[in-house]
């Protein structure tokens, strides 16, 4: 009976070892996928936080802009309110972010309000304005220092003491305005539509399985992994549905770091970033000035993606074990049959022994030791002397235990690895490489695969170790690592950011410290899986097109070095310009496999060029666009009209009797008058209207999306504004004459400008200080030109 049990045990152990190796490989691959996704989550969360901060910073800028319209003024006249109304109606309709734009005076009275209804901006009549003296946002912001920003909690809008349905998430931004004596005279307040912020939260790559949510500084859900938990803090029966109560350990880490990552015992990975709404703009006691973006990768998602990557399904594992089981059953059947014949049994034993000896003569040594102090050896394969130089009897008689030949520096580590595996109830596992001392006293790098043997009580009694000599491989790795360290040292001596990039995947193979300091924020570690466009451009796609040519694509085709100027983004997400010098690196077959890029910061040079270009297109006296710039802009606008249709108004005006002003008061006063005229006109036109000096005392105003009637009203508004303005430069009244027209079918730039010029000429002929409208079809002007 015992004659067939030993070989059968060997077969079973071999099958179990194969299964263990397969399980270890699957686990290793899962760890690899988890590491890659964790690093990808860091990049995605950082990008989301930066874009969210950027959007919110624009709200602060808009608030400052609107506050300037009401700042340091006494009670606003009807004319001033009308001018501000026209400007902010266009602003509100264009932005589509603000549910309300309001100016509330120091008594809490609404003096000005614009509501957004759908996509239409509506000015609220004075009779419908209300007193807001008792509302919390007025009380909390009216006494703030001038220039401070008040930020309300990010919550759901409440109407008539009930939450408005459908939900309308809202953040209120307010800032005080002062009178000419620097005393608080009221507040300007913007009701920012939070849904627009949430809906425009940057989405991660569709292939990325993680889910992103937004929470406030108190750990409450604004959006949630489970949709019904969002805004729970607004409802009495859901107040405990908070991120901080569901994930207290993660929340503890989130509160302490600007950007970070935390793993949970369940295998989930949480990546988080702090979003500052208004840093130095806000009041000192701002409790609502930041939010948190949280990204979660669940352990189940990680396992599913790893299994998908491996293409290993339960059926694959089942088939593998079925094959081993079939082989085992066949051998078992053959051994049972062989018992009927002694000769057959002996022949089979000899065959098995021969196969065992073939295994024993290989490069790996098989040890079996007891799970006791010093790991006393009970069995060792015959190739022990050939591989390590020891006699078998040295171990079998107890002179040496297996622990005796392990390098003392490595023994505590591999002992702990063994203890950890046994505590985890593992039957098969690998230990990390370690060093042993061979019979000649030399250190040798080895690695072993362990198989655990237990008794009927489940106690570990023996361990099998399949010991592999990896000394040559380890030394080669050390030499390679030394070479890599040397190359990295050379890279780090280069002051400019320098990258080595895989030409196929765009992954960064290596980078110097200057690159990481330039592009990575503090707290985000270098990542071997990161792509160059993710690092430098903070996005998830490569450069392309004429405006952003990819140097990698260019070099792959030409196999020659190239220089390209790109706009990159630094660790804070701020843009700067670099000159990229990129060179190809070839393999033995002459194929481009990597690109060496060096990035030189040329932002100052580019800014100087832009400044020179700005000077070329700016009027030196008034600071507005000159004739050259206006002609280019007019060409762009008329091209849009031909392609897409629409409307376009044009106003041409000049100062009446300007020569007399120069003659009577001097050219210096004349120049100051022109500057004042420009200042008055700029306060009257819309933000997207185009204003330029045509030459001398002649000016042009281009009004996109404006028909003839609207342009005519705007011209009359400009004329009255100049007529009513008290000029500091000269004591006399200043007036202007205007010619008004709009784009018509068949128009060209020449016919449009000519029509406005003729209308201006008629205003002069008819007594000046007036506007004249010309709607003559372009065909008539063309005939005059001929």
* Same-domain status, 191 and 212: no
pLDDT of residue 386: 87
In a domain, 149, yes or no: yes
The pLDDT value recorded for residue 105 is 87
Task: Give the count of beta carbons closer than 10 Å to the beta carbon of residue 284.
Answer: 7
Looking at the structure, do residues 411 and 546 belong to the same domain, yes or no? no
What is the C-alpha to C-alpha distance for residues 389 and 472, in angstroms, rounded to an integer? 17
For residue 661, being part of any structural domain is answered with yes
Of 697, 698, 710, 723, catalytic: 697
Task: Check which CATH number belongs to the domain holding 694 and give it.
Answer: 3.30.70.270
Q: What are phi and psi of 759, to 5 degrees?
A: -65, -40
At 720, is the secondary structure helix, strand, or coil? helix
pLDDT of residue 290: 81
Do residues 592 and 734 both lie within one domain? no
610 carries an active-site annotation:
no
309 part of a folded domain: no
Instruction: Let me know whether 168 and 240 are in one domain.
Output: no
Cβ atoms of residues 184 and 142 within 8 Å? yes
> How far apart (Å, rounded) are the C-alpha atoms in residues 560 and 316?
47
- In the prediction, which pLDDT does 316 show? 56
pLDDT of residue 654: 95
Q: Residue 362 and residue 382: Cα distance in Å, rounded? A: 9
pLDDT in tens, 232-272: 888 766 777 889 888 988 999 988 888 888 988 888 899 99
397 and 442 belong to one structural domain: yes
Give pLDDT, residue 327. Answer: 62
Residue 270: what pLDDT? 93
Residue 272 shares a structural domain with residue 390: no
624 and 766 assigned to the same domain: yes
Domain count, the chain: 5
Which DSSP string do the residues of 490-510 spell out, in sequence order?
HHHT-SS-EEEEETTT-BEEE
The pLDDT of residue 698: 95
Q: Does the pTM of the predicted model rise above 0.85?
A: no
Same domain, 258 and 275: yes
CA distances from 689 to 207, 474, 678, 746 (A): 43, 71, 14, 23
At residue 639's C-alpha, the angle toward residues 634 and 642, to 5°, is: 130
653 and 699 belong to one structural domain:
yes
Contacts 24+ apart (CB under 8 A), 440-449: 440/389, 443/407, 444/388, 444/469, 444/471, 445/469, 445/470, 445/471, 445/473, 445/474, 445/475, 446/470, 446/471, 449/17, 449/20, 449/21
What is the structure's pLDDT at 359? 44
Rounded distance, CA 97 to CA 510, Å?
43
Residues 753 and 626 in one domain: yes
Q: What is the CATH number of the domain that holds 88?
A: 3.30.450.20
In 362-433, the DSSP E strands lie at 364-370, 377-380, 428-430
Residue at 44 is within a domain: no
Q: Last residue of a domain, which of 262, 281, 297? A: 297
Whether residue 381 is found in the same domain as residue 276: no
Name residue 406's beta-bridge partners: 436
Task: Report the C-alpha gap between 566 and 476 in whole angstroms.
Answer: 40
Instruction: Answer yes or no: do 563 and 507 share one domain.
Output: yes
Is 348 inside a domain boundary? no
Domain boundary pick from 197, 232, 263: 197
The list of the chain residues with pLDDT below 70 reads 1-30, 74-76, 159-166, 200-207, 236-237, 278-287, 307-363, 483-484, 487, 521-529, 540, 545-547, 615, 779-786
Q: Does some domain include residue 318?
A: no
> Is 488 contained in some domain?
no
Q: Is residue 9 part of a domain?
A: no
Residue 548: domain span: 494-602
Which of 475, 503, 521 terminates a domain? The answer is 475
């Amino acid at each position: 009976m015992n004659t067939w049990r030993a070989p059968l045990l060997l077969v079973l152990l071999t099958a179990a070892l194969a299964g263990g190796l397969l399980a270890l490989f699957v686990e290793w691959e899962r760890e690899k996928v988890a590491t890659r996704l964790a690093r990808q989550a860091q990049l995605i969360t950082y990008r989301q936080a930066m874009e969210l901060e950027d959007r919110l910073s624009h709200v602060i800028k808009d608030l400052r802009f609107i506050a300037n319209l009401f700042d340091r003024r006494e009670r606003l006249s009807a004319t001033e309110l009308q001018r501000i109304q026209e400007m902010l109606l266009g602003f509100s309709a264009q932005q589509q972010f603000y549910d309300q734009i309001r100016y509330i005076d120091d008594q809490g009275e609404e003096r000005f309000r614009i509501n957004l209804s759908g996509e239409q901006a509506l000015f609220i009549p004075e009779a419908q304005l209300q007193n807001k003296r008792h509302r919390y946002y007025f009380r909390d912001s009216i006494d703030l220092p001038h220039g401070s920003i008040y930020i309300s909690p990010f919550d759901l809008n409440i109407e008539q003491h009930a939450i408005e349905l459908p939900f309308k998430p809202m953040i209120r931004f307010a800032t005080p305005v002062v009178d000419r004596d620097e005393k608080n005279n009221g507040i300007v307040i913007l009701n920012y539509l939070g849904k627009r912020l949430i809906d425009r939260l940057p989405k991660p790559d569709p292939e990325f399985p993680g889910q992103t949510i937004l929470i406030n500084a108190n750990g409450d859900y604004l959006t949630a992994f489970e949709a019904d938990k969002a805004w729970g803090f607004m409802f009495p029966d859901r107040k405990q549905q908070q991120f901080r109560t569901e994930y207290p350990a993660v929340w503890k880490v989130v509160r302490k770091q600007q950007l970070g990552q935390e793993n949970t015992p369940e295998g989930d990975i949480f990546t988080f970033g702090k979003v500052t709404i208004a840093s130095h703009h806000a009041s000192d006691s701002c409790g609502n000035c930041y939010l948190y973006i949280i990204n979660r990768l669940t352990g189940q998602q990680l396992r599913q993606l790893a299994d998908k990557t491996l293409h290993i399904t339960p059926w694959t594992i089942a088939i593998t074990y079925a094959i081993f089981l079939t082989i085992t059953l066949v051998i078992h059947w053959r051994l049972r049959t062989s018992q009927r014949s002694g000769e057959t049994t002996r022949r089979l034993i000899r065959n098995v022994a021969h196969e065992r000896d073939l295994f024993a003569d290989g490069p790996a040594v098989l040890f079996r030791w007891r799970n006791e102090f010093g790991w006393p050896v009970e069995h060792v394969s015959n190739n022990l002397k050939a591989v390590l130089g020891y006699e078998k009897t040295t171990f079998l008689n107890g002179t040496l235990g297996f622990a005796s030949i392990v390098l003392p520096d490595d023994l505590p580590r591999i002992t702990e690895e063994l203890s950890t595996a046994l505590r985890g109830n593992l039957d098969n596992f690998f230990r990390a490489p370690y060093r042993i001392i061979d019979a000649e006293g030399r250190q040798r790098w080895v690695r072993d695969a362990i198989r655990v043997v237990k008794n009927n009580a489940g106690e570990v009694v023996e361990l099998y170790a399949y010991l592999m000599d990896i000394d040559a491989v380890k030394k080669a790795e050390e030499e390679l690592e030394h070479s890599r360290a040397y190359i990295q040292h050379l890279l780090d001596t280069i002051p400019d950011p320098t990258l080595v990039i895989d030409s196929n995947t765009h992954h960064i193979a290596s980078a110097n410290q200057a690159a990481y300091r330039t592009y990575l924020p503090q707290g985000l570690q270098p990542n071997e899986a990161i792509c160059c466009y993710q690092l430098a451009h903070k996005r998830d796609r490569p450069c392309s097109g004429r405006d952003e040519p990819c140097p990698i694509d260019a070099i792959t085709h030409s196999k020659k070095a190239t220089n390209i100027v790109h706009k990159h983004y630094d660790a804070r997400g701020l843009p700067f310009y670099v000159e990229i010098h990129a060179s190809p690196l070839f393999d033995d077959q002459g194929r481009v496999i990597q690109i060496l890029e060096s990035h030189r910061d040329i932002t100052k040079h580019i800014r100087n060029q832009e400044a020179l270009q700005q000077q070329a297109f700016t009027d030196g006296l008034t600071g507005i666009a000159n004739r050259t710039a206006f002609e280019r802009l007019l060409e762009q606008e008329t091209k849009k009209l031909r392609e897409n249709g629409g409307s376009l108004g044009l106003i041409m005006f000049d100062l009446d009797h300007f020569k007399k002003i120069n003659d009577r008061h001097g050219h210096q006063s004349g120049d100051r008058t022109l500057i004042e005229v420009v200042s008055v006109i700029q306060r009257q036109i819309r933000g997207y209207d185009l204003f330029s000096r045509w030459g001398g005392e002649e000016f042009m105003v281009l009004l996109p999306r404006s028909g003839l009637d609207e342009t005519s009203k705007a011209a009359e508004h400009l004329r009255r504004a100049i007529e009513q303005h008290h000029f500091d430069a000269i004591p006399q009244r200043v007036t202007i004459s205007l010619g008004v027209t709009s784009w018509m079918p068949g128009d060209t730039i020449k016919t449009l400008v000519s029509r406005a010029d003729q209308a201006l000429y008629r205003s002069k002929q008819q007594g000046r200080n007036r506007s004249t409208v010309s709607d003559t079809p372009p065909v008539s002007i063309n005939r005059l030109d001929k």
